[in-house]
Structure 1
Amino acid sequence: MALFFRAIYLGWFISLIYAAVLYFSDKYRRESLINVGIAFTGGVAAIVIITTLHAGIPGFSGDGFTGGFLARAFDSFVKAAIPEEIAKLLVFFIIVWHFDFEDFSEGLDGMIYMGMIGAGFGAYEDFSYIFSQTLPYIGEEGGEAGRALQFITWQRAFPGHVLINSVSGYFLGRARFTNGNQKKFELVAWSLIVAILTHGLFNLAGSGGGTGWLIIYVLALGRVFFFLRGKMLEDSPYKAFSELPDEITESSFVSYINIIRDWEFDRPIDRYKKLYDRETSPNLGYLPVVISIVILYPVAIAGVYYLNKLILDFFKLVS
C-alpha cells in the first residue's frame, strides 16, 4: 500500500510541474483553477476509455514498444497514439467545448485546456508505470525496489502528453474562434493528426533504448510549444488590456481600446474586460487546491485504478 500511494504522488508530482508551467504560460490572463482542475481530471478519466479498448479488442493490449523497428512503430502509433489521442480529444469536446467554458475566450486557452487534459492523462500513466514496474521488486534484498523506483521515475519524467496536447491544442484554439464549419472541421482534424504524429514519434524515440533521442525530441517539441504560445499571445485580446496606461479611466476605456486596436473577437470588448478583471469567472484560493492535490487526487487515481481492474476482470469473464 505504501508503494501504491508513493507511486500516486510521484506520478502527480511529475505532471504537476509541467501543468504549472503550462498554467503560468499565459502572461495576460490565467484560467480559472476550477476549470483547469476539471480538464485535468478529465484527462485522468480518459484512461478508462483506453482500458476498455485494450480489454475489449483481442490482441490490442500487451507489452508494446518491443521488437524491430516496424513492430515498435506499430505499437507506438496504432496501439498507443491513435486511441489515446482520440480519447483525449473526446474528453476535450465533452468537457471543455460542449459545456462552453466561459474562460475559453482566446486561442491560447485551447493549448492550455488540451494540455491540462494531457497532464491528467500522463499523471495516471506515470503512476501506473511506476507502480506496476516497481511492484515485482518489493521484498527483494539489497534495495532493489528503491533503485527500481528511482529508475522508472526518471524514465517517466519526460513531459510527453502535456507537450503533445498543448501543441495539438493550438489548432483547437484556432478552431474555436474560426467561422465556418468546414474550416473548424479542418482545424480539428489537424489537431488530431498532429497529436497522433507527435505522440507516435515520442513513443518511437523512447522505445529504442537510451534517452538521447528522446531528450532531443522533447526539446524540439518544447521549442514548438513556445513558438505557438508566442503567436497566440501576440493575437490575444487581453494583450491590449495589459498595455493600458494607469491614467485611463473606466468611462473612456472602451473608446480608448477602439482607437488603438480594431476589435476582431467574437465577444464584445466589455465582456473581455470583465473576464480580464475576473468579474465573471469563479476561482479558488490556493488552500482548496492544496487540499485537492493532497487528499482528493489520490482518491481519484485510486478510483480510476480499481475501475480499470473491474473492466479488465469483466472482459476476462466474458472472453
Structure 2
Amino acid sequence: MAYLKLLALALAPGVAILLYLYFRDPHEREPPRVIARTFLAGALVAVPVLAVNFLVLEPIRARLGLTGVWAVMWQAFVSAGLTEEFFKFAGVLVTVYRSPNLSEPYDGIVYASALSLGFATLENLVFVFTGGFATAWARAFLAVPGHALFGIAMGYYLGRARFATAVRARLRAWVLALAVPVAMHGAYDLLALHTDVEALFYLLVPLMGFFFVRGARQLEAAVRESRPPSEPDGPAFGDPCPACGTPVLTGAYYCHRCGIPLRKEALLERS
C-alpha cells in the first residue's frame, strides 16, 4: 500500500499540471494522443541527459578540479540546467515543432510543458522511491512545478518563433526559448543544492513565486496571441480555411488546424 501511495504522489503533480494547461485553452484543445506521445518523449529525454552527464560532463568537471561552490554551480547550470533544457528543447523541435497540431502560439506552451513534465515525472519517480514521502511532498510543490515553469517559458518563446515573428525576431525567440529555461533551471538548482548556506535555500520560495508570476503572464499573453476576441455569446466561426477546409474563428490570424496565416498581419509577421 505504501508503494502505491508513493507512486500516486510521484505521478500526480505532473499529471495535474498538464491537465490544467490542457484545459486552459477553451477553444482548440490538442489531441490527447499527441500530448501523451510528447509526455513520453520527455521521459525518454532522460537517456541522453544521463549519458552526456556521465560520459562527458562529469569527466570534464573532474579534470577542471571544481570543488565547493564552483562544483555546485557546474552541476546547477551545466549538468542540470544546460543539459536537461537543451535535450528538452531538441525534443520539442523533433516531435511537434513542425507538426500541424502546433497551430497557434499557446500550443507551444502545451507541448513544451508536456515534454518537460514527462521528464520531471520520471525524475520524480526515482527521487520519491528513494527519499520517501517527505521527498514526494517537497518535490510536488517545488521541483515538478519548476520543470513545468521552465517548459512554459520554453513553449512561450517557441510559440512566438513558430508563428508571430519576422526572421530576426524569430531567431531571437529561438535563443530565448533555450536561454531562459537554462537560466531559470540553473538558478533553481543553485539554491536547492547549495544547502550549506541556509539563506540561499530559503530564497527558493520567493524565486518560485517570481517564476509563477512570470509563467502566469506568459500564459495570458499566449492565449491573447492565439485567439481573436470572442463574440459576446461565444466564439464565432467564419469561412473555411483555404488550405484544409476547417471552419476558422472569425478574425483569426492562423488556421487552428493546419497553421497557415489567414490575415495580412500574420503574413507580414512571417515574412
1:202 pairs with 2:188: yes
Once the two structures are superposed, residues 268-309 of structure 1 have per-residue CA deviations (whole angstroms, 9 ceiling, x without a partner) of: x8978xxxxxxxxxxxxxxxxxxxxxxxxxxxxxxxxxxxxx
- Structure 1 residues 271, 153: closer, same or farther in 2, change over 3 A? closer
Between 1:105-114 and 1:177-186, the stretch displaced more is 177-186
Q: How does 1:22-37 map to 2 (within 5 A)?
A: 22-37=21-36
RMSD: 3.2
5+ long unaligned stretches in structure 2: 241-246, 260-271
Alpha-carbon distance, 1:79 to partner: 1.1
Pick from 146, 151, 164: which aligns with 1:165? 151
**Bigger Rg, structure 1 or 2:** 1
> Superposed, which structure 2 residues align to 1:124-273 within 5 Å?
124-131=122-129, 133-134=130-131, 149-157=132-140, 158=142, 159-178=145-164, 180-209=166-195, 212-237=202-227, 239-240=228-229, 242-243=230-231, 245=233, 253-254=238-239, 261=251, 263-265=252-254, 267=255
Inter-CA distance 25–246: structure 2 relative to 1 (3 Å threshold): closer
8 Å contact from structure 1 (residues 60, 79) kept in 2: no
Structure-2-length-normalised TM-score:
0.77
Paired position in structure 2 for 1:103: 101
Higher RCO by CA contacts (8 Å cutoff, separation 6 or greater): 1
Q: Which residue does the alignment assign to 1:122?
A: 120
Paired AA for residue 173 in structure 2:
L
User: How far apart, in 1, do the equivalents of 2:122 and 2:222 lie?
Assistant: 29
| More moved, 216-225 vs 201-210 | 201-210
Distance, in Å, in 1 between the alignment partners of 2:186 and 2:59 is 16
Structure 1 residue 67, shift from structure 2 partner: 6.6
Normalised by the length of structure 1, the TM-score is 0.66
Identity, in percent, stands at: 22
Deviation at residue 121 of structure 1 after TM alignment: 0.5
- Structure 2 distance, partners of 1:58, 1:180, is 36
Secondary structure of the corresponding residue to residue 101 of structure 2: coil
Q: Can you list the C-alpha shifts for 1:235-255, whole angstroms capped at 9, x where unaligned?
A: 223x44x4264797x7xx349
Matched residue, 2:42: 43
Structure 1: distance between partners of 2:97 and 2:53: 27
CA contact (8 A) 2:158 2:173 kept: yes
Judged with a 3 Å threshold, the aligned counterparts in structure 2 of structure 1 residues 247 and 107 are, in CA distance, closer, same or farther, namely closer
The AA in structure 1 aligned to 2:204 is L
Does structure 1 conserve the Cα–Cα contact (< 8 Å) formed by 2:102 and 2:108?
yes
How many residues were matched structurally? 241
CA distance in 2, matches of 1:56, 1:150: 32
Specify the SS of the correspondent of 1:235: helix
Shift of 1:38: 1.2
Residues 47, 184 of structure 1: alpha-carbon distance in 2 compared, 3 angstrom cutoff: same
